[in-house]
Amino acid sequence: MEPKTNIWIEKDDKVVLSLWRVRLLEAIAETGSISAAASKMGVSYRRAWEKIQECEARLAVKLVDTQTGGSGGGGSSLTPEAVAYVDRFRKFTAGLDEFVSERFEKYFSDI
């Protein structure tokens, strides 16, 4: 047996940040594209875009800048606010898995 954790942040009972959403933002930063990030995350472009829009609406801040190119191409990048939210979320969750594992070991080591 091993423990699993999932943490997210809500505002007005709605998810604003989660590990999955932070990973999506990180994938956008890495790939420079919502489409490529969605593919990397194994979801449709539409689902990725919906989650970005949900986060933006609930946080009341723009998270992703999109550009359209002359031949239909474009790109996406994180806004400074998004970079700050990703950083804060990562700092907030750093060490939680280890903490949970230690607690699990303390209370379930005999199983």
Separation CA 105–CA 111 (nearest Å): 10
Residue 3 within any structural domain of the chain = no
Residue 75 within any structural domain of the chain = yes
Residue 15 within any structural domain of the chain = yes
The whole model's pTM is what?
Answer: 0.87
What range does the domain containing 92 cover? 8-108
Domain count, the chain: 1
Instruction: Write out pLDDT tens, residues 4-52.
Output: 889 999 999 999 999 999 999 999 999 999 999 999 999 999 999 999 9
Residue 57 within any structural domain of the chain = yes
Residue 1 within any structural domain of the chain = no
Residue 67 within any structural domain of the chain = yes
Main-chain phi, psi angles of 46, to 5 degrees: -60, -45
Which uninterrupted H or E stretch holds 69?
Answer: none
3-state class (DSSP) for residue 77 = strand
Is residue 57 within 8 A of residue 44, CB to CB? The reply is no
The CATH number given to whatever domain includes residue 16 is 1.10.10.10
Is residue 8 within 8 A of residue 58, CB to CB? The reply is no
Residue 72 has pLDDT above 60, yes or no: no
